Chain A
Amino acid sequence: MDASSIFSLVLCAAIVGWIAWAAARRHEALAEGYRAHAVGAGAALVVLVPGLAGLWKFLTGLEFDTSIIPLDVWVDGAVDWLLLKVGDPLDQLNRWVVHKIGFFERFLHQSIAWPLLTLLFTGVAWHASRNFVVTVGVACAFLLIWSMALWKPTMQTLSLMSVSILVTVVFGLPLGILMSQSDRARSIMLPILDMMQTMPSFVYLIPVVMLLGLGNFAGVIATMIYAAPPLIRLTDLGIRLVDKEVMEAATSFGASRWQKLFNIQIPLALPNIMAGLNQSIMMALAMVVIASMIGVRGLGQEVLFGLQRQEPGTGFIAGLSIVLLAIVLDRITQSYGRRMETHRTVSH
């Protein structure tokens, strides 16, 4: 081991230790006695020991590309273990979900479905926006999709989307609320959300496919992982943004935590939660093409065909349909979000 690498390693450990010590000192619980020093020393050792071990390993002639921390092997092991333990029940669940989605899809494919559904969405658009242009736009989008003979894949995509968004809301909303109520939960969730948003989606497609097999269920889970963060973040943000004095007022009248949450915080956070839902839906649509690679049928698959067969037209009309679907869902959710803003802000 040469002196310079040891020196730089020690310096590195000292800096990390010092930062940890300084951070610990600001915490009331850790400031007592020598606890902050212990935290600092611990952090320094975490850097120093593997570092020295690695240096030693390297200098004693091992290959440069031998990993010192074999994280990849651990992850493989973990997935294998999971597969062994929960593979069967997951398979059951998979079948059940696929059956449900399939039922939904089959209904949407009926010839009667398309005028009904176009009418339904047009009605919802009118209810949400009370805007003639938006309503007519929605109707035209559906007519265009139908007339391009993409009704079936569009419905496949829409049903998968609906299930994914449903699952996203079922998990995302409580997580966002949890985050808003506890700073500790928030500090745990934030890096996880960062990871969910920055990790390339192919990375988690691998274990998802291993665990769930190809098909719709894997598509739902992958879509959820990709689409949930905005809903979770905006739920948390919306609740935290509720005016401090309004919260004080509720507390001063003796409201319990649940009363505050359900009577005050969530209703007042609804515009932000709607914005989160809107973002999640857009993200889910962005996932459609990637999901097609793990066997999800629908518009994404059409794009994939276009790519494989070198038919730019096929790709274009499928892509256009995705965009149209996105615009329809965006306008509808945004209009509801705007409607919720009335009587949720106070002017002085």
Chain B
Amino acid sequence: MGQIQISNVYKIFGPRPHNAIELVRGGMSKDDLLNETGHTIGVQDVTLTVEPGQCTVVMGLSGSGKSTLIRHINRLIDPTAGEIIVEGQDILALKGRELEDFRRRMMSMVFQRFGLFPHKTVIDNVAYGLDIKGGSRAEKRANRETARHWIGQVGLTGYEDQYPSQLSGGMQQRVGLARALATDADILLMDEAFSALDPLIRREMQDQLIELQDTLHKTIVFITHDLDEALRLGDTIAIMKDGAIEQIGTGEEILQRPQTEYVRRFVEDVNRGRVLTAGTVKLECSIVRQDTTPDEALRQLGEGGLRVTYVVDAEGRLVGAVTAASLRQGQRDDIPTVDSLAEAAPTATEDMVLEEVLPMTVGEDIPVAVLNENRELKGILPKDAIIRALAEEAQLTAEADR
């Protein structure tokens, strides 16, 4: 069980949600329900596990219920049916003070339109989550120091005494982020946090979040309608449509194996080069140990009809690549083992994305060698394999059209 466990949650808006939920469970569609009873489905039978320290992205278009879903986690919205467990605690059972206390300790939230308090200065905004817990004068002073620290972390030092209306959108959202981080809660809820920002600033904020997350390891639930953003930030991605989850998986799983037509159409336009990694696309290759003779190596190449083989040491670490031509030359020169024939090969690590690998292949005859973190050879990436991976979706679509 994860840190947050959402099980079979339904949310129906309208005067009599409990009657309507039976109809939905009976299979009535969103449109039919609206037309016949005037009820709207917000969230439909959602089950989602959020693992600690990970960034779980819920993505969907407007009206897909993603913002409604995230508001269930801190009970800004109460579900019509279902169960929500946060760190083993059934949060739907919380009332009054318990609920306030739970919100103060366990999670903080960043909002699409920032949700800053316009009548408070930046530092008072950031300290809000701390001040609200009450406490002595000394504690309030300590809160200011904490707030100052987080304002520095998001790069707004010097703006402490400004009001939100004096800041640009990107800066306002940095205040929102600092305010959420200042409470030191483990769980960070981000509702389309970067959607209102223009593309360059959005990219900057994403980088900042990734950087902060590297040291903080918060449990993040991130809502977005932007698939590129989801793929950049998400360890796990859940795609929502009409209040229900269509598919949950890692970014690559969703790109490589879309489970529904909706998801497939969704991922069509994604820049695959930015998401697919060398590790997933790599091919098997021919390997020779560094103490192999050129004769033996040539024989191996001949069997596979190959032009290049890779030389590894006893631990499987890459030494270099040899071509058939240089092997024949070595044969003639009576060279005892292949390692002195090996020439440098372009290398990539498994977690590099294709966009980064592609430039290495330019003007290079030898396919890129894919290594793990110990420099062990795991496979290779010939130019055509990269291009095929990048073009796969287009091909599939073309086939489907035929």
Contact = CB atoms under 8 A, between A and B. Distances in A.
Interface stretch (A190-198, A254-262, A310-318): A254-262
A239 to B, nearest CB: 14
Interface in B111-134: 111-119, 128-129, 132-133
Contact of A249 (B111, B163, B165): B111
Contacts of B219: none
B112 A245 contact: yes
Contact of A28 (B15, B107, B165): B15
Nearest to B189: A252
B296 interface: no
A348 B113 CA distance: 8
A309 interface: no
B103 A253 contact: yes
B189 A345 contact: no
A264 interface: yes
Given A344-B119, A347-B165, A348-B113, A255 B132 contact: yes
B176 to A, nearest CB: 8
A343 B76 contact: no
Interface in B172-215: 172, 179, 183, 189, 196
B164 interface: yes
Q: Which of B107, B165, B172 has the most CB of A within 10 A?
A: B165
Contacts of B119: 267-268, 343-344
A346 interface: yes
A44 B165 CA distance: 56
B114 A346 contact: yes
A348 B133 CA distance: 29
A214 to B, nearest CB: 46
Interface in B59-117: 71, 74, 76, 97, 100-105, 107-109, 111-117
B100 A245 contact: no
Given A27-B15, A346-B165, A347-B165, A254 B118 contact: no
Interface in A20-48: 26-28, 31
B15 A346 contact: no
B16 interface: yes
A249 B116 contact: yes
Contacts of A348: 113-114, 169, 172, 196
B117 A249 contact: yes
Given A31-B15, A252-B103, A245 B196 contact: no
B118 A344 contact: yes
Interface in A298-348: 342-348
A249 B109 contact: yes
A346 to B, nearest CB: 5
Contact of A252 (B74, B105, B116, B133): B74
A345 B164 CA distance: 9
Contacts of B164: 343, 346
A255 B100 contact: yes
Nearest to B173: A348
Interface string A217-252: 000000000000000000000000001011011111
Contacts of B183: 253
Given A27-B15, A264-B117, A259 B165 contact: no
Contact of A251 (B76, B97, B179): B76
Contact of B76 (A246, A248, A259): A248
Interface in B152-172: 163-165, 169, 172
A338 to B, nearest CB: 15
A252 to B, nearest CB: 4
A343 B163 contact: yes
Given A28-B15, A345-B165, A254 B132 contact: yes
Contact of B118 (A248, A259, A268): A268
A134 B172 CA distance: 36
A245 B111 contact: yes
A253 B108 contact: yes
Contacts of A250: 117, 128
A259 to B, nearest CB: 6
Contact of B116 (A31, A253, A346): A346
B363 to A, nearest CB: 48
Contacts of A347: 165
Contacts of A268: 117-119
Q: Which of A26, A268, A342, A347 has the most CB of B within 10 A?
A: A347
Contact of A248 (B100, B111, B169): B111
A263 B129 CA distance: 12
Q: Which of A243, A246, A254, A259 has the most CB of B within 10 A?
A: A254
A126 B132 CA distance: 37
A347 B167 CA distance: 9
A348 B129 CA distance: 22
Contacts of B97: 256
A253 B104 contact: yes
B115 A246 contact: yes
Contact of B129 (A28, A243, A253): A253
Contacts of A259: 132
B109 A252 contact: yes
Contacts of A249: 109, 111, 115-117
Nearest to B15: A26
A203 to B, nearest CB: 39
Nearest to B129: A253
Contacts of A243: 113, 115
Given A250-B128, A254-B101, 9 more contacts: A28-B15, A248-B115, A252-B103, A252-B189, A253-B103, A253-B179, A264-B117, A268-B117, A343-B163
Counting from the closest, the 6 A-B pairs by CB-CB distance are: A254-B104, A249-B115, A254-B103, A252-B109, A245-B115, A253-B129
Interface of B: 15-16, 19, 71, 74, 76, 97, 100-105, 107-109, 111-119, 128-129, 132-133, 163-165, 169, 172, 179, 183, 189, 196
15 contacts: A243-B115, A245-B111, A245-B113, A248-B71, A248-B76, A248-B115, A249-B109, A249-B111, A250-B128, A252-B103, A253-B183, A268-B118, A343-B163, A348-B113, A348-B196
Interface of A: 26-28, 31, 243, 245-246, 248-256, 259, 263-264, 267-268, 342-348
